[in-house]
Amino acid sequence: MRNKILWSDETKIELFGVNARRHVWRKPGTAHHQANTIPTVKHGGGSIMLWGCFSAAGTGRLVRIEGKMNAAMYRDILDENLLQSALDLRLGRRFIFQQDNDPKHTAKITKEWLQDNSVNVLEWPSQSPDLNPIEHLWRDLKMAVHRRFPSNLMELERCCKEEWAKLPKDRCAKLVASYSKRLEAVIAAKELLELYFEKNWALPDNIIVIPTEQAAIVTFSDPKVVESICTKQDYVMRSIPVKMYPFYESLGTALYGKDRPTWKMPEPFTESVHHVIWKFLQMKKLSKCINDQMLPYFCSVGLENPEVKLSPLPSFLRQKGLTENDVEMWMSNAQKAFRQKMSQYTAFECAATCTCMESCRERRTFGCEERRFHGDGCIQRDFDGGWPS
């Protein structure tokens, strides 16, 4: 059945943050030619909202949402994209549509459209974003778009649609396959919590499990039950130590007090950079540029020597909604991003004779200007439209 589900969601992608300083090889006196400049957006950027869908067979349509979306706009998005996506992915007419419980999704006109088009809707628990596998695809999309450095909102939209279409089908299939395991874990956790609280206090009105934080929000209609539970914080549930805190919906947070969980800052690590490339980076003073590009990964890059040190920024632990998985994956994400940036540079050995060097200086051609010799090697950087490796 899960292979017949068409998953959907909305997300916001910021232009600021994916934008960064860029470098280009050019001839002398061409600094302001159109080919060597990047158009900018007045006041520095903005963001776009997207609606997208996917199934185990791959990604469906991705649509930009113009302005603030209401129920009528959402219905139009479904009308223009939902059935066509199901057709493109060969889900058949008996596919199942997943959407969360946003008021626009449950509005009367939306329900009427779904009924008129005989769309089966997956019953979805409230406040359960961790269960939707599309969240992982949004993360993949944002990382891919970031690597392309869009310079305005139109380019950002184009990059998003191109990268969305490139997301691997096997990635989609694996995410859908893992949904069953996550759902089973959530159901088991909810059943355990219901039995535990019913036995010791009262049956909860509602339980929201948050797998990524190994936490849950348990709601009771009687405030006295909550008061009784919170007389202490430390409990044991099936030999597992558990802490309980009052949760205030108006604040959207639990008041942990002095026992608020703290994450340990990830350890710095080193990456080896070819010594010729390292010399080139030093000569071109690219340290600030590289650090700017690594900011979205909360990573500081120390280029003092070829054994480059990558360290987490202090702001990493101050992120809103930081989870244990984010902490565990910091090194992997930073390492992958840094290696991708270093892959733009190529070092190779060549025989650089005095005659060759003199010829380069005299000719001052596009290619010769941009090569830098360091005695035992040559360095060049790969850019779109620039020198090939």
Q: For the segment 55-99, what is each residue's pLDDT rounded down to a tens digit?
A: 999 999 999 999 889 999 999 999 999 999 999 999 998 899 999
Q: Of 249, 244, 248, give the one whose Cα is nearest residue 259.
A: 244
* Cβ(363)–Cβ(27) below 8 Å: no
* Cβ(191)–Cβ(197) below 8 Å: no
Q: What is the pLDDT of residue 382?
A: 47
Phi, psi of 199 (to 5 degrees): -70, -40
**Furthest-apart CA pair in the chain: how many Å?**
90
Classify 179-259 by CATH class. alpha beta
Higher pLDDT, 134 or 33: 134
Q: Of 197, 167, 128, 155, give the one whose Cα is nearest residue 48.
A: 155
Q: How many C-beta neighbours within 10 Å does residue 1 have?
A: 7
Burial tier of 228 (Cβ tally within 10 Å: 0-12, 13-18, 19+):
middle
Structure confidence by residue, pLDDT tens digits, 269-284:
999 999 889 999 998 8
- Report d(CA 294, CA 262) in Å as an integer: 24
Q: What is the pLDDT of residue 31?
A: 62
Sign of CA pseudo-dihedral 199, 204, 208, 210: negative
Structure confidence by residue, pLDDT tens digits, 236-294:
887 788 888 888 765 555 555 555 556 788 889 999 999 889 999 998 889 888 998 89
E-strand ranges in 112-171 read 120-121
Residue extent(s) of CATH 3.30.420.10 domains in the chain: 2-167
Would the pLDDT of 388 be above 70? no
Classify 2-167 by CATH class. alpha beta
Give the CA-trace dihedral at 305, 309, 310, 312, to 10 degrees: -130
Burial tier of 368 (Cβ tally within 10 Å: 0-12, 13-18, 19+):
middle
* Cβ(132)–Cβ(7) below 8 Å: yes
Q: What is the pTM of this model?
A: 0.51
- Chain centroid offset of residue 105 CA: 24
Q: Of 175, 166, 178, 215, give the one whose Cα is nearest residue 193.
A: 215
Give the chain's mean pLDDT: 81
* Cβ(151)–Cβ(19) below 8 Å: yes
Structure confidence by residue, pLDDT tens digits, 347-379:
877 666 666 666 656 554 433 334 444 444 545
- Report d(CA 102, CA 301) in Å as an integer: 41
Residue extent(s) of CATH 3.30.70 domains in the chain: 179-259
Higher pLDDT, 222 or 209: 222
